[in-house]
Amino acid sequence: PYAGISGDEILRKRKTFLGPSLFYYYQNPLNIVEGKMQYLYDENGKRYLDCFAGIVTVSCGHCHPDVVNAVVEQTKLLQHTTTIYLHHAIVEFAEALASKMPGNLKVVYFVNSGTEANELAMMMARLYTGNLSMIALRNAYHGGSAGTIGLTALHTWKYPIPQGEIHHVMDPNPYRGAFGSDAVRYAKEVEDHIAYGTPGRVAGFIAETFQGVGGAVELAPGYLKLVYDKVRNAGGVCIADEVQSGFGRTGSHYWGFQTQDVIPDIVTMAKGIGNGLPLGAVVTTPEIAQVMSQKIQFNTFGGNPVCSAGGLAVLNVLDKEKRQAHCADVGSHLIERLKSLQQKHEIIGDVRGRGLMLGVELVTDRKEKTPAKAETAVLFEKLKDLGVLVGKGGLHGNVFRIKPPMCFTKADADFVVDAMDYAMSGM
């Protein structure tokens, strides 16, 4: 049994000792005290099916034994020295990660979070091209630091500080976007924006292949291929933010950008790369990486032995357990079941995604696509009571995000859909 302080007490202390910008899920916030693979347990021992994986972070499963073991063994031997000395773990991890990349993406910089990875990627793009203008998508989330907040394009996360030389173009959202799934028209808008809104030469373009925080939005098919060409013609480099969509989660491919048949110049990653460890990475070509050698780029904890050992274990687990194929298999079953649920419940406006990277968008009017904000909040609480934790996303908070640990099974998928059906039937 749990011997720690109660949820109420934690909440009181949190309000006093932690920053007021923190938010929490659920009217009575959950006090999660233990995790095992796709399950979480609260202070009373109640079990929940985790469909959000710590915001898409836990890839292999909570406390996966291989990852725990790698971290514990390395911790006992040596925790930290920094890269001023040699250590085998960082190079072994970098080599394994590079082997997962296509093209000439072979050089890795390790950092500690997705925000840091995108900061570094943006700096590299600017230094390499000699240009300043960055292009990002509306509805994107790339981080909350002073620099990446400029890339992020959801007003809920943006503090009123200078946002730098950053331009946002329309997100090619097949469900809500002005041009539907017409990638050509969205790409033309990017070209026009570069011509009218920038000096005509840009540093780079960054996009998530599947917008995560923005509500599990898969970009219109063919979009990245068209836009990468336009950006490169304007002197820019193309950055893929794989913080949520990488490591086989989409099922069909190991990286989200591969679903759009492109090879980026820089790839950023975090979250699932560490199964819960604070770890991020930037992978790029030797030519682009070279630009950082003008000065020293140092990161005290980046690639530390413990995180590197854990990260390598994650890559091995995902391969050994064939998680990409598993995500494809379970994901197609889940999406099929969600689509039949959509036939039954008028409130489900859209079911989308691939693999275990899915979104269910709720609307009060299918034609007008009016966000069902209040209804989503009620259903969200009901699902929790039924033992199912999903994520919430989209600017209006009306999208359920289903992105569980990749060990999630078909039986788990059935449980989520049955719980949604039950909750929606009782509305």
Residues forming contacts to ligand PMP in the complex (CB under 6 A) are: 55, 113-115, 118, 141-143, 208, 212-213, 241, 243-244, 270
DSSP 295: S
- 143/235 with CB nearer ligand PMP: 143
- 399/419 with CB nearer ligand PMP: 399
CB of 215 vs ligand PMP, minimal distance in Å: 12
- 7/278 with CB nearer ligand PMP: 278
CB of 382 vs ligand PMP, minimal distance in Å: 25
CB of 67 vs ligand PMP, minimal distance in Å: 18
Q: Are 149 and 316 in contact (CB under 8 A)?
A: no
- 143/172 with CB nearer ligand PMP: 143
CA distance 205 to 2: 48
* Helix or strand (DSSP H, E) at 424: helix 410-425
Q: Are 269 and 242 in contact (CB under 8 A)?
A: yes
- 23/196 with CB nearer ligand PMP: 23
Count of C-beta atoms within a 10 Å radius of residue 13: 11
CB of 116 vs ligand PMP, minimal distance in Å: 7
CA distance 401 to 380: 11
Contacts of 69 (CB under 8 A, 6+ apart): 313
Q: Which amino acid is at 76?
A: K
Count of C-beta atoms within a 10 Å radius of residue 16: 7
CB of 142 vs ligand PMP, minimal distance in Å: 5
> What is the token pair recorded at 63?
């406390």
CB of 147 vs ligand PMP, minimal distance in Å: 12
Q: Are 35 and 47 in contact (CB under 8 A)?
A: no
CA distance 150 to 163: 4
CB of 415 vs ligand PMP, minimal distance in Å: 26
Residue of minimal Cβ distance to ligand PMP: 114
- 31/115 with CB nearer ligand PMP: 115
CA distance 346 to 136: 34
- 212/394 with CB nearer ligand PMP: 212
